[in-house]
Every structure is written in structure tokens, then in C-alpha cells.
């Protein structure tokens, strides 16, 4: 049967959409057995009608049990030690009709965690209505979109917020409300995105691991936009294949997915020792450094002595700026080598910056006649934002240990309160990634991915090993090791320095 086109086909799509709206708004219940019998008696000669399309959704689910083991004692005594257990549920449903030109897809996710209250969370990963009209496609609801090509970091991928408590590596994404129109052009695909409602990044609780240097106070999050997390963002992306190269060009305008951090606290006191040029000693001056400005010394003929700062309950406060960002991603294969590149430039009131990730993956097929494939990966990561200022980094590190802070002058005492938030440091500003990917190509689909990102200047290393294997037809066992080594205080990942962990996850498919 040939699908109708033109006005008739669009009338059919509109009717289906109206029926979908009725089902969502007023609900739908199947007829009772008695009703079915009455109908059959009323029309005994009618042929049996096919089962309605809405009675045939495809259901599936994943149930996971997970254990994380942290061999080192935490950097903060408030964090848990040893083993952490959790369980997850990930149900999904797909419903197609109109010869698969229309679809409803739903995917939910939830986790219950033993220690970290913030990791006990639920999310709508996807709840989308899709309508395919051959030359264009609509996707409306909650969804996830992936942009990118590289292995170590996907800097162009900005539509969805990261679910950091689920995966510190940044691969897990929260669902994003969206209206997406895809135009299938003769020379590529052009995507428009209207993104109402902003999703804040998830962060571990005070006792969670791995956790940033200070606990993150989500309730105190600040937004540059007056609309706050109700700001409507816009994005577009054009992608096409040029002589074997997959090229994507993107633009985003809206709320930054990556927050910068200010320091917040319940109370802050600075004890300032003042030394007069002549005469006897003056008693120390105690000031409230929780205010926007710390008072200057009361007289010009005084020299400033030591400054000791006491802070109660220091936290990081996320600050989400309004940004404009352009991105480029390219991927192409030449022989056994797959070349990859991602680059961005971003403008904001907090400062402009640019970044790139680029490299290659070379594959060895049927390694030694074993049937296994081995890929060798190398990438370079650059970000113009650099590292955290050393003085401010040391102050933040001392806060993380709940110690009194000592500064050489009153300006430094002020700087620790309000200057750290202006430090838009990047974790990978001059780094090299090397890794390997092994596909055993056996019946259980055994895979292994190992790699490390090494700072070319400081030697700071973030290592990772991921292995996965099916157990029968309904289960999968996976293991992950993450290592944080040689992290200097100026590295944004310094808070993870004692958070090496082994994760084992068993997933059952239904």
C-alpha cells in the first residue's frame, strides 16, 4: 500500500494528532467485556476489526544494581567512606502508527542511593511526539539530543544538561523540554530548537562522592536572566556530508549548561591585626566579611598586619550566565583512521573563550587472526580559560578543610569572597588524551575502553577503564574504574583528588 501524500496525508496526520491530544488530556480506557459482547450482538455479520493501533505499544525496562567502592578516605569528613550501593529503574515505551510516520516515545529514569540523598532522584529522559512528513520532521516534548564527534569530551553538545550525580564523566544527560523542527534539505539537514525551561545541573549532596571541593548549594543558584530557570533558549544546527566528511555547524543562545561557581557561607568574620607606624599596638579589628565590602583600615598611617578569616559552612553557589555559542564538529574516515574535531567559541558577560578537542582513532581489524578489533585513540584538548588563580585556589582548598584562612592584605581577604566566582577555569585547558578501545566480537558482546587525560603542564591525570559483557540474553555486567592523580590545587578537579573508585553494575533487561 502506497502512503498518501499531499493534503490528504496531512489531514490524516492532523486527525491522528487530535486523537493523540484527546488521549493525553482525557485518558483512554478499553471497552469492558460486556460492551464488547453487546457490540458483537448488535452487528453479528460484521467482520472482526483489527486491533486499534494504540493497543500495541512496545514496552521495555532496565533494572540495575550498582556498587561503588572508594578505597581512600574522603577529603571532607562529612563524606561517606567505603562502599556505596544503589538501584535504578529505567522503563521505556514506543508507540508507532500511521505506517511509522507518527510516534510517541517515553523513557523514565530513577535511582535510589544508599548515602547520597541528591543521587536519589528521578527524571523524564524522554516523552516525545514525533511526526515525519518526509521533507521535515517535528519532535515535541521532552527529549535528548547528542552533538559531537570526539571521544574524550564533547564540548559542542549543549542542548541537554549533564546528570552529574549519575555519571561524573558527563555522558548521562537530563531530559530537556523542546520543540524541534528538522528540515531535510537536498544538501543536508537543518535543525531548529525551541528550548523552554532550563534544567539545573545535578550535584552530589554534602556527604556524596565524588564531589567538588565544596558542597554545591543548588537552592542558592543564581541566573543572569530575569526569567531564571524559565528562560527560553534557542539553538540550530546544520549538518551534511562533504566528500566523506560529516560536518556539523551549530549555534546556541540561552542559559549556559556549565555553571561557574561563587563562594557562599552562613557567616564570615575577619580578624585584622593593625600595626601603627608610630606609637603602641592597637587591638585587632574584627570585621564582617560576609558583606559585599570589607571595611578598610580606619587610618592611612596604619600598616596592615595578618588577616585571619573564619568561615561557617562554606559552599559553592552555581551561577548560570546567558551565552552565545557557535560550534563546529567534523568526523571523517580515511582508510583505517577516523579523524575527529570539535571546536567552540562562546560570548558572555563573564568573559569570552574558545576551546577545541581534536584527534584520531586508528583501528586494527581481526587482531592477530583472533577476530577482535582494537582501536588506538589520541586527542588534544585546549581551553583558553586556563586554571584557577593560585591564591584563590589555595583559599578555597583551605575552606574545604574548614581551616582559618590567612591573607597578606585586606584585598586578598576580599578577593576570596567574590573573586573566585569570576574564575571561569576549565578542567582541560592543555591536555592530551590517549586510549584504546577493544571489541572482542564474541557472542556476549565483550567490550573494553581504557584511557587517560594528562595535563601537559602539571601532569594531572584523570584515568578511566570501562568493561562490559552480556550474561545470557537478559543481563549485562559492567565495571568502571576512575582515577584522579597528581591534581594541583589550581585544577578545577582538585576536589576529586581522593575520590578514586571502582564501580560494578549488573543490569537486567525486560
Domain ranges of the chain: 55-264+315-388+423-509, 266-312+390-422
The pLDDT of residue 367 is above 80:
yes
Beta carbons within 8 Å of 136's beta carbon, 6+ residues apart: 181, 182, 183, 184
Q: pLDDT above 90 covers what percent of the chain?
A: 61
What's the pLDDT at 213?
87
Q: How far is residue 52's CA from residue 97's CA, in Å, rounded to a whole number?
A: 10
CB atoms within 10 A of CB 166: 20
Q: How far is residue 92's CA from residue 402's CA, in Å, rounded to a whole number?
A: 45
Q: Among positive and negative, which fits the CA dihedral 411, 416, 420, 426? A: positive
**Looking at the domain 55-264+315-388+423-509, which fold is it?**
Porin (2.40.160)
Residue appearing with cell numbers 484527546: 22
Residue appearing with cell numbers 543521587: 119
Cell of 378: 589520541
Beta carbons within 8 Å of 230's beta carbon, 6+ residues apart: 196, 197, 198
Binning pLDDT at 50, 70 and 90, where does residue 147 land?
A: very high
Residue appearing with cell numbers 569572597: 417
Binning pLDDT at 50, 70 and 90, where does residue 296 land?
A: very low
pTM: 0.81
Strands (E) across 38-156 are located at: 58-70, 82-97, 102-113, 121-132, 136-143
CA nearest neighbour of 158 among 221, 224, 235: 235
Half-sphere exposure of 26 (CA within 13 A, CB side): 4
What's the pLDDT at 390?
76
Of 216 and 411, which is predicted with more confidence?
A: 216
Give 103's strand partners: 96, 130
| Residues 435-464, mean pLDDT to the nearest whole number | 95
The length of the chain in residues reads 510
Helix (H/G/I), strand (E/B), else coil: 468: strand
The 10 Å CB-count burial string (b at 16+, else e) for 284-297 is: ebebebbeeebeee
What's the pLDDT at 20?
40
Orientation angle between helical segments 410-418 and 390-400, nearest 10 degrees: 70
| Residues 289-314, mean pLDDT to the nearest whole number | 58
What's the pLDDT at 225?
86
How far, in whole angstroms, is CA 468 from its chain's centroid? 22
Cell of 328: 563546529
Contact 98, 16 (CB under 8 A): yes
Cell of 464: 578511566
Amino acid at each position: 500500500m502506497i502512503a498518501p501524500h499531499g493534503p490528504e496525508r496531512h489531514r490524516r496526520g492532523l486527525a491522528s494528532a487530535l486523537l493523540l491530544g484527546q488521549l493525553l488530556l482525557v485518558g483512554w480506557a478499553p471497552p469492558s467485556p460486556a460492551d464488547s459482547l453487546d457490540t458483537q450482538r448488535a452487528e453479528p455479520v460484521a467482520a472482526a476489526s483489527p486491533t486499534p493501533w494504540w493497543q500495541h505499544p512496545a514496552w521495555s525496562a532496565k533494572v540495575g544494581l550498582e556498587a561503588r567502592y572508594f578505597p581512600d578516605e574522603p577529603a571532607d569528613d562529612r563524606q561517606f567512606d567505603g562502599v556505596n550501593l544503589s538501584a535504578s529503574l529505567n522503563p521505556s515505551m514506543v508507540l508507532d502508527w500511521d505506517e511509522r510516520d507518527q510516534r510517541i516515545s517515553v523513557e523514565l529514569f530513577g535511582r535510589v542511593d544508599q548515602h547520597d540523598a541528591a543521587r536519589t532522584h528521578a527524571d523524564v529522559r524522554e516523552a516525545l511526539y514525533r511526526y515525519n512528513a518526509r521533507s521535515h520532521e517535528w519532535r515535541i516534548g521532552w527529549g535528548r539530543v547528542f552533538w559531537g564527534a570526539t571521544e574524550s569530551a564533547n564540548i559542542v553538545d549543549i542542548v541537554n544538561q549533564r546528570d552529574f550525580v549519575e555519571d561524573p564523566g558527563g555522558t548521562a544527560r537530563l531530559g530537556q523540554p523542546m520543540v524541534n523542527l528538522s528540515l531535510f534539505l537536498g544538501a543536508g539537514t537543518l535543525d531548529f530548537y525551541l528550548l523552554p525551561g532550563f534544567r539545573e545541573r545535578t550535584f552530589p549532596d554534602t556527604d556524596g562522592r565524588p564531589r567538588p571541593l565544596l558542597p554545591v548549594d543548588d537552592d542558592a543558584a543564581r541566573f543572569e536572566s530575569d526569567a531564571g530557570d524559565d528562560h527560553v533558549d534557542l539553538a540550530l544546527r546544520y549538518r551534511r556530508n562533504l566528500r566523506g566528511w560529516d560536518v556539523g555547524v551549530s549555534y546556541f543562545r540561552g542559559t549556559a549548561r556549565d555553571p561557574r561557581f561563587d563562594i557562599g557561607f552562613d557567616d564570615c568574620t575577619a580578624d585584622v591585626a593593625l600595626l601603627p607606624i608610630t606609637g603602641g599596638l592597637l587591638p585587632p579589628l574584627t570585621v564582617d566579611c560576609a558583606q559585599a565590602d570589607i571595611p578598610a583600615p580606619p587610618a592611612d598611617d596604619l600598616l596592615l598586619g595578618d588577616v585571619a578569616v573564619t568561615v561557617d559552612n562554606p559552599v559553592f553557589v552555581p551561577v548560570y550566565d546567558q551565552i552565545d555559542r557557535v560550534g563546529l564538529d567534523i568526523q571523517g574516515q580515511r582508510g583505517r583512521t577516523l579523524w575527529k574535531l570539535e571546536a567552540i567559541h562562546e560570548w558572555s558577560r563573564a568573559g569570552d573563550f574558545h576551546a577545541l578537542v581534536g584527534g584520531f582513532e586508528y583501528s586494527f581489524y581481526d587482531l592477530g587472526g583472533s577476530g577482535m578489533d582494537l582501536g588506538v585513540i589520541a586527542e588534544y584538548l585546549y581551553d583558553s580559560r586556563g586554571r584557577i588563580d593560585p591564591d584563590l585556589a589555595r583559599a578555597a582548598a583551605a575552606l574545604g578543610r574548614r581551616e582559618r584562612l590567612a591573607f597578606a592584605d585586606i584585598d586578598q581577604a576580599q578577593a576570596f569572597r567574590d573573586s573566585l566566582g569570576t574564575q571561569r577555569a576549565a578542567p582541560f585547558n592543555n591536555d592530551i588524551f590517549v586510549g584504546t578501545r577493544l571489541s572482542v566480537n564474541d557472542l556476549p558482546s565483550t567490550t573494553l575502553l581504557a584511557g587517560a587525560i594528562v595535563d601537559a603542564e602539571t601532569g594531572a591525570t584523570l584515568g578511566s577503564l570501562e568493561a562490559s559483557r552480556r550474561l545470557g540474553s537478559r543481563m549485562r555486567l559492567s565495571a568502571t574504574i576512575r582515577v584522579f592523580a597528581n591534581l594541583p590545587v589550581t585544577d578545577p578537579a582538585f576536589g576529586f583528588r581522593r575520590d578514586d573508585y571502582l564501580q560494578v553494575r549488573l543490569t537486567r533487561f525486560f
